Structure 1
Amino acid sequence: MKTLSSTIRAAIAVSVVILNVWIVLDLAKANTGLAVVHWVQQAANWLAGWSRGIFTTHNRVSQILLDYGVAVIAYLLAGSVVRRGSAK
């Protein structure tokens, strides 16, 4: 059970990093024509596919933070639940 818990926590950590990197790259208007930036964008879009568009705003920065930030918070909460469950 510890191995599964560790694997899930690692996957969540990687997901949170990818989402945060994409938030920074998007806000900095990084060139999505570059392969690595495009990959991060696609990965973040897939990870946050369920949360993008839940809230709408007319401010670009707020929209990016809401679209991807909600996913970051949800994944961090999920990681916390997994960590607590594995501590028992």
Structure 2
Amino acid sequence: MTTRASTTTTAARVIAAVADVIAFVIGLWILMYLLDANRANDLVEFVRGAARWLAGWSHDLFTFDEEWARVVSGYGLAALVYLFLGHAGARALRRR
């Protein structure tokens, strides 16, 4: 029989881990973009598609002249928001 505290701790860990994975995928796309990864590669295309879906709300939020600056700022903002919200939610769960 699990206690409520251990269930809450487990849920908090899962939330934080999901936020970390999402931020990792977005960060990986930023890195691949900056390193000019081969877009014909299936892995690169998968990461790009996943990051685009995850950061759909922010990927064209900024209108810098340089495309690399738009990618870094738009996708980077999404990664930071996911990390902040995920870890804040996990912290709030642990305090209950």
Structure-2-length-normalised TM-score: 0.83
Q: Deviation string for 1:32-82 (max 9, x for gaps)? A: 111111110111001100111111111122111112011011011112312
Partner of 2:4: none
Partner of 1:36: 43
Unaligned runs of 5+ in 1: none
1:22 correspondence with 2:29: yes
Q: Which runs of 4+ in 1 moved over 4 A?
A: none
1:50 correspondence with 2:51: no
1:86 correspondence with 2:93: yes
Larger radius of gyration: 2
Structure-1-length-normalised TM-score: 0.90
Partner of 2:78: 71
Q: 2:19 aligns with which of 9, 12, 15?
A: 12
% identical aligned pairs? 32
Give the Cα–Cα distance (whole angstroms) in 1 for the partners of residues 44 and 93 of structure 2.
35
Q: Deviation string for 1:14-45 (max 9, x for gaps)? A: 10111111001011111111111111011100
For the 8 Å contact 2:18–2:86, the answer to whether it is kept is: no
